[in-house]
Structure 1
Amino acid sequence: MRKRSGFTLIELLVVIAIIALLMAILMPALSRVRKQAQSVACMARLKSWGLIFKFYSDDYNGSFNPGWGVGETTLWQNALRPYYKDQWQLLLCPTATRIDQFGQEGTFMAQTRTLATPGGGSQEYAFSYGINSWTNHMKADRGDRSVEWFWKTTEQTGQYNIPVFADSTWHDAWPRHTDAPIQFPWDFGGGDTGTTGEINHFAIDRHNGWVNFLFMDWSVRRVGLKEIWTLKWHKAFDVNGPYTRAGGMQPSDWPAWLVKYKEY
């Protein structure tokens, strides 16, 4: 009788161990590739938003939407809706599509908000991008936010450094050069804080130390986490402020989670 051939138990265990080892080697590489692909897709979506903002501003004599100057009906989700035509996926970074179920913003989570619409109804929006609210076409001061600080229109010098739209934990924010970085990447809640800390809506480690931004010249590029404090958020924003290298910020001054990233 012919002896049956096959794996012995030892041989089978060796094969399983080799497969497990290969998986351990390959999985981090595959994860990096997936994240890189998501970042590229995110930048492509921001390119689409560049066209959407341009179409809107072209139709309104170079102006941005009024935003909170009028109310919920003129926030970007509503004002730009005729241009993105219910392509809801555009409101979400591919890295941040999971809706936060706990009511507080996280690094990668998407948010939802129900807003009044121009037709008198309401619409629930899910989003993981946010607008620089200093672009709004405001006609009066909003609290301690001077109307003179707002960009209002696209006809500005230095457009390449003026952020319009980006990865965010909330749908809008009003950054200031005095906004201190948060001590931990997960301890900043959403909504309008009024006066402080709003830059942290954008200072999120969603893309391995980078944040994807759309600028006023409609270009899209990735921005370093610390570089965010050097962007020209509003007309009076000091790009050499206290949280920049030019303003005296030292590497050791940053919160622990930000120390390893490039200085600007």
Structure 2
Amino acid sequence: MNRSAFRFLELPVVVSILPLLLPILTPSLAQTRKFTKVTVCQRNLRQLQVAYTAYAAGWRTRLLPYICDGARPDAFWMQTLQSYYAQSGQIRRCPGVPGKNPESYWGTASWGWGGSGGWMNGHYGSFGIRGWLYDIMSERPDGKYNYPSQDRYDWECTGRTFSPGVAAVWFDCNWVDAWPYHADGPYPDLSLGSQPGQPGQTSMGRLCITRHDWSINLAVADGGASGTAWYSQCWRAWFTVAHGWPFSVRDLRPALRFATLSSCRGS
């Protein structure tokens, strides 16, 4: 009897301690959920790069075509790669993004892109591909190339990639693709990202968004994926450090633009 009474008296003590423990445990649980979303996001990005590699292997190392005229919606990357990632549209989306933007085809830091008509063809997602890694020799139905002659370079096939460990291919983005240039600046509203019609909009601004606090996730050409943090001490000097770039992004931007594919001419 005495032993049972002792256990009964312990119960109020335990109950009284629980409210004290909850404020301690709740942030840890929230942080765990956030970390899980980041991990799944990076896994999805890796899957996209694996799909791209498999596609290139089946097409004699050719890059993805750049065809978005609406006449051939199956030629854009969402449809072209779909069979290489098990027909799962979730691979194109960060788990921290609930779905496509209900107000626009364009995404934001919190919403994904998506649409039902034309080349979008009902697809949705929250990642973008680096446009510099399209097959720039892709022809349109009118027989013209998708890039001016002075911008054609030699990017028709994968060949040998310069610095594959830093050459970003896929990343968190508010649109399906971006052509980040080393001299581009971010859009001031990082929760929105750069979109058409905005004054001073740039392609780099499409991926400069606060999707994972002050960072984005990206996958590089060798199949690795990681986060790229924007440090707060550099954030305060946003418009004075490296022409408006925080330190971490300043280090990344040459890789985004110039760690491109070597010439495939003659291969």
Mapped to 2, the partners of 1:206 and 1:46 lie a distance apart of 14
Q: Does 1:178 align with 2:183?
A: yes
Q: CA 1:53 to 1:236, structure 2 compared with 1: closer, same or farther past 3 Å? A: closer
CA displacement 1:47-88 (0-9 Å, x = unmatched): 211221111010111121112377644221021122124212
Mapped to 1, the partners of 2:151 and 2:47 lie a distance apart of 31
Mapped to 1, the partners of 2:30 and 2:183 lie a distance apart of 36
Q: CA 1:81 to 1:202, structure 2 compared with 1: closer, same or farther past 3 Å? A: same
Q: Which residue type is aligned with residue 130 of structure 2?
A: N
Q: Does the aligned pair in 2 maintain the 1:209–1:224 contact within 8 Å?
A: yes
Q: Does 1:130 align with 2:128?
A: yes
Mapped to 1, the partners of 2:191 and 2:202 lie a distance apart of 13
Mapped to 1, the partners of 2:183 and 2:147 lie a distance apart of 18
Mapped to 2, the partners of 1:94 and 1:50 lie a distance apart of 18
Q: CA 1:182 to 1:70, structure 2 compared with 1: closer, same or farther past 3 Å? A: closer
1:234 corresponds to which of 257, 260, 263: 257
Mapped to 2, the partners of 1:206 and 1:196 lie a distance apart of 19
Query: 1:168 is matched with which residue?
Result: 173
Q: Cα RMSD between the aligned structures? A: 3.3
Gaps of 5+ in 2: 1-11, 138-144, 231-245, 261-267
Q: TM-score by structure 1 length? A: 0.70
Query: 1:57 is matched with which residue?
Result: 56
Mapped to 2, the partners of 1:74 and 1:137 lie a distance apart of 12
Report the Cα offset of residue 25 of structure 1.
Answer: 3.0
Mapped to 2, the partners of 1:127 and 1:211 lie a distance apart of 15
Query: 2:214 is matched with which residue?
Result: 209
Query: 1:154 is matched with which residue?
Result: 158
| Count of paired positions | 220
Q: Does the aligned pair in 2 maintain the 1:135–1:151 contact within 8 Å?
A: yes
Query: 1:221 is matched with which residue?
Result: 226
Over the matched positions of the two proteins, sequence identity in percent amounts to 20
CA displacement 1:153-184 (0-9 Å, x = unmatched): 32222222211111111111111112112223
Q: TM-score by structure 2 length? A: 0.70
